[in-house]
Amino acid sequence: MALSSKYYLEVPAASLDNNKGEIDRINSLLEDFTGIKRIDWPIDLIISSLPVIRSSNGQLTVTACRDGDRLSLISVESGDTRSFHFGIAIDLGTTVVAAELIDLKTGDTLSSEGEINAQVRYGEDLLTRLHFASQGGVNELKSALLDTINKLVDITCKSSGIPSNQISAASIAGNTSMTHLFLGLDPSSIRHEPYVPVVNHVPVLNASEVGLKILPHAPVFIFPSSGSFLGGDLISGVLASGLAKSEKISLLLDIGTNGEMVLGNKDWLLACAGAAGPALEGAVAECATRAKPGAIDRVVIDPTTLEPSFSTIDDKPAIGLCGSGLVDAIAQLYSVGLLDSTGRFVLEKHTTRWQKINHRIAYMLTEERTGSNLPPIYITEKDIQNVLRTKAAMVAALTVLLNSVGISIEEVQKVYTAGSFGIHLSPESSIAIGLYPRLPLDRFIPLGNGSLQGACRVLLDASNIDEAKRIADKITYLELNVHPTFMNLFRSAKYI
Amino acid sequence: MALSSKYYLEVPAASLDNNKGEIDRINSLLEDFTGIKRIDWPIDLIISSLPVIRSSNGQLTVTACRDGDRLSLISVESGDTRSFHFGIAIDLGTTVVAAELIDLKTGDTLSSEGEINAQVRYGEDLLTRLHFASQGGVNELKSALLDTINKLVDITCKSSGIPSNQISAASIAGNTSMTHLFLGLDPSSIRHEPYVPVVNHVPVLNASEVGLKILPHAPVFIFPSSGSFLGGDLISGVLASGLAKSEKISLLLDIGTNGEMVLGNKDWLLACAGAAGPALEGAVAECATRAKPGAIDRVVIDPTTLEPSFSTIDDKPAIGLCGSGLVDAIAQLYSVGLLDSTGRFVLEKHTTRWQKINHRIAYMLTEERTGSNLPPIYITEKDIQNVLRTKAAMVAALTVLLNSVGISIEEVQKVYTAGSFGIHLSPESSIAIGLYPRLPLDRFIPLGNGSLQGACRVLLDASNIDEAKRIADKITYLELNVHPTFMNLFRSAKYI
């Protein structure tokens, strides 16, 4: 059952023999439908619905949220409007907030959009924003995030031709800090020992309570966090993958700003976080860009000519290298012998693509493009070292997880790849440079934006609220920074 | 368990080994205390409580409302404040709103006050106000009522030395129209066929939602009505009497503005309303007054001298005749032979108390009081006819109720007398004129303000919420106006 439900009722007219209250008559029918006796109407909804009820000839569609032992009313419409039943899923990304407008009757996605998180004006990275929050900036950060979210509500509604006051449910996932800021809670404590969030488990709230511009009484589910470093976005990704329901052992790799991984099955879940670092993010490589139109996302180097060819997102003129292009380039350089296993260029191997840029040797993916204001795109050893550090962190983290439960990588039956890089990374290249474990390709399942997908699951099936709570409670967090073998594993994994 | 509960917690400090969220740690303890897993915090309460939580050294008192499968948080205080635990019961009288401030720990009444319902400025009687409501006056009537209630909160708090933000629960009973106006609902439909209220059963609301100036998240229980003519005040009175839990058949007589009676036991409840009329209200008899200081409330007439003596409320100089004084006077006039059984004066019997006032004969209770601006107080045949009409209505209604279930009056084991007259009426005089049934005096139990008493019961024991609902659902309303024998019974009962 979806997070909100619509019930079409034919309410018998009042008479001397049936003179229950107007609302009580509706409640009787709802009780017959749902078996729920406790039906909660907000008073303002009773007041605003009376004209609708009285002009409806008894034909009403009631939208409500089934929550535990009660039914909470959301809206009342005249006639049979069960076909107009919508919910919105939102992923509170640190950089990009994503939203998906869902038809809760058919399960179809009507619109899927992303917007830069307006909080970036207070700091590109999370730490800057957390500092600002601790200086009294919580409400500004909350407003900025809310503006972004409500803009997405607006955009997805407009593109689907649906008024926002027909959205009767929302489901939201974000990391622990973003979730705090969304709720107007100061997340400062998250980053200081003992790393305690204000709250992990938030009850289902009302849209009006959190400032979401959909139906005011629409339920808003917020994914629970499992501590400061395991946010609701990861819980949501685990939910979307289904790994916590499977007999088989699976792995979820979420390689975003802050790499996270979860190993486990229906009986146990082990997670670690913070291992990836920003190496794969737009900001690090010299010619890096976010995965947007014009970003080089696929690279092939001819083993004979050593000349590169590439594709860009949406086939636009190349503007830079996104994470997947970077991983492809490194894998290809290594494969054709232009890179050794320590991440150094093999300059003895001759190609016109070697060029000196800012006193350093680079491999040029594009030529100087005269008559264009687009810069040349290239890759340096420093870029490669950054990626290898991320790779080493991922490998070390995975090894720690596997060793903790005493299993080998071959026992991992499925690898779900999520996060902004998981979507685009080529499994072949990722395996080639060791970022992904060496497993048969058919075990890799790209999840897309796992956080957003999990949020959609809750919209379409509210029993996933309990499942999310179960995951958050079950998951065990392994703190890598204090782990005795992590640093050794990390150091020995900085090679291709 | 009271409608709100206080829990003293010693919250362990956060550490690397116990890094649950601050709120989650409190929730764990609450779950241990109550066995309830679902703990709902309003977001604004989390935000406002954090400074308290952080400065409390882990010693906290949490106030919460146990509601079905969940615990709803009301407030968080530093230290052990379990001794400061208060609730307020309110009776939404049409004329007088009454409030009782209760210590929920000891059950003691700390303050009990009444205030004229500020709605009277829109009309002394309910019908005038309902007309005003139907003309768009709902919000004004709501505000006036709320002003009166919040004034009572203020008065009872001041007289007890308790700040209003320590009141963590409220329980409210009123007739169906008053309950509607309290909620801002237009009660117009109540008075027109098919006499349908907007709503009978209202869920437990928050103080902030209804505008009550106590703790914003305090639960506010509102007694359910059982239709347009059986209000929450009567349900509350039935609850207070306990008659709906007894094996024995009992009768509740609520002789207020609108007389109501309930006959029944734990298995069945039969009610009728609207039979009393305003005869006993302050406004009807020529020298009538409300039951306030100076009102004549007891009258004795010497059978030999035929001279009256009387007492007044608070022994103040007599200002008029309240309902109980009126009933006493009629009973005494009849007893000494100055009145016949049809309600006519026996003028042949000589007394200096007969005097002509406005061309009509009256029996003078006081002389002309020269040197005082207090008017003479007397009783006329018209006053007596009015009381006898009320008496006839009560008798006819009771007969209809008894006949409906086929029992005799002797089978009624207890008679609870409630309402503004029930408090003061002398059972002897009331039996003498036939207003009360002729039963042994020890079967009469004065309930006081039954509506207010029932509201107090819910504050002190929230399981009475279900009991109130059970009563409202169980009670059967007998419509006297359309009853075939009522008018005949009424006509034949207009005699002493």
pLDDT the model gives residue B422: 63
A286 compared with B199, residue with greater pLDDT: B199
Q: For residue A185, which residues of chain B lie inside 8 Å, CB to CB?
A: 43, 46-47, 50
CB-based contact B194 A15, cutoff 8 Å: yes
| Mean pLDDT, residues A408-434 taken together | 88
List the CATH code of the domain at B5-78: 3.10.20.880
Checking if the pLDDT of B283 tops 50, the result is: no
3-class DSSP state for residue A45?
A: helix
Residue of B nearest to A176 (CA): B21
Confidence of residue B45 (pLDDT cuts 50, 70, 90): very high
Checking if the pLDDT of A405 tops 70, the result is: yes
pLDDT the model gives residue A484: 83
Domain ranges for chain A, please list them: 5-78, 86-222, 229-496
CA separation for the pair B83, B106 (Å, rounded): 9
CB-based contact A199 B42, cutoff 8 Å: no
> Could you say which of A24, A184, A203 has the minimum Cβ distance to residue B199?
A24
pLDDT tens, position by position, B208-230: 999 999 999 999 999 999 988 89
| Mean pLDDT, residues A265-274 taken together | 92
Checking if the pLDDT of A199 tops 80, the result is: yes
The DSSP symbol for A225 reads P
Residue of B nearest to A17 (CA): B194
Write the ipTM.
0.88
Suggest the residue from B20, B183, B199, B200 to mutate for an interface test with chain A (most A CBs closer than 10 A).
B199
Q: For residue A197, which residues of chain B lie inside 8 Å, CB to CB?
A: 21-22
pLDDT tens, position by position, A372-381: 778 899 999 9
Q: For residue B199, which residues of chain A lie inside 8 Å, CB to CB?
A: 21-24, 41, 46
Confidence of residue A406 (pLDDT cuts 50, 70, 90): very high
CB-based contact A205 B19, cutoff 8 Å: no
CA separation for the pair A298, A311 (Å, rounded): 5
Confidence of residue B370 (pLDDT cuts 50, 70, 90): low
> Could you say which of A16, A23, A183 has the minimum Cβ distance to residue B194?
A16
Q: For residue A205, which residues of chain B lie inside 8 Å, CB to CB?
A: 43
Confidence of residue A282 (pLDDT cuts 50, 70, 90): very low
Q: For residue A68, which residues of chain B lie inside 8 Å, CB to CB?
A: 38, 68-70
CB-based contact A21 B184, cutoff 8 Å: no
> Pairing state of beta strands A167-174 and A86-92?
parallel
pLDDT tens, position by position, B134-175: 999 999 999 999 999 999 999 999 999 999 999 999 999 999
Mean pLDDT over all residues of chain B? 92
> Could you say which of B46, B195, B228 has the minimum Cβ distance to residue A199?
B46
Confidence of residue A277 (pLDDT cuts 50, 70, 90): low
Distance from CA of B293 to the nearest CA of A (A): 40
Nearest to B100 by CA among B460, B457, B456: B456
CB-based contact A16 B193, cutoff 8 Å: yes
Checking if the pLDDT of B282 tops 60, the result is: no
Yes or no: say if A363 and A379 are a contact pair by the CB < 8 Å rule.
Answer: yes
pLDDT tens, position by position, B434-489: 999 999 999 999 998 999 999 999 999 999 999 999 999 999 988 887 788 888 88
CB-based contact B201 A24, cutoff 8 Å: yes
Q: Which CATH architecture has domain A86-222?
A: 2-Layer Sandwich (3.30)
Long-range (24+ apart) CB contacts under 8 A made by A309-318 are A310/A365, A317/A372, A317/A374, A318/A294, A318/A365, A318/A366, A318/A374, A318/A377
pLDDT the model gives residue B61: 98
Confidence of residue B408 (pLDDT cuts 50, 70, 90): very high
pLDDT the model gives residue A283: 46
Amino acid of residue A471: I
pLDDT the model gives residue A8: 98
DSSP string, A356-376: EETTEEEEESS---TTS-PPP
Distance from CA of A161 to the nearest CA of B (A): 32
The domains spanning A5-78 and A86-222 adopt the same CATH topology = no
Checking if the pLDDT of A275 tops 80, the result is: no
User: How many beta-carbon pairs below 8 A join chains A and B?
Assistant: 125
pLDDT tens, position by position, A326-382: 999 999 999 999 999 999 999 999 999 999 998 999 999 998 766 777 889 999 999
Suggest the residue from B31, B198, B469 to mutate for an interface test with chain A (most A CBs closer than 10 A).
B198
pLDDT the model gives residue A197: 95
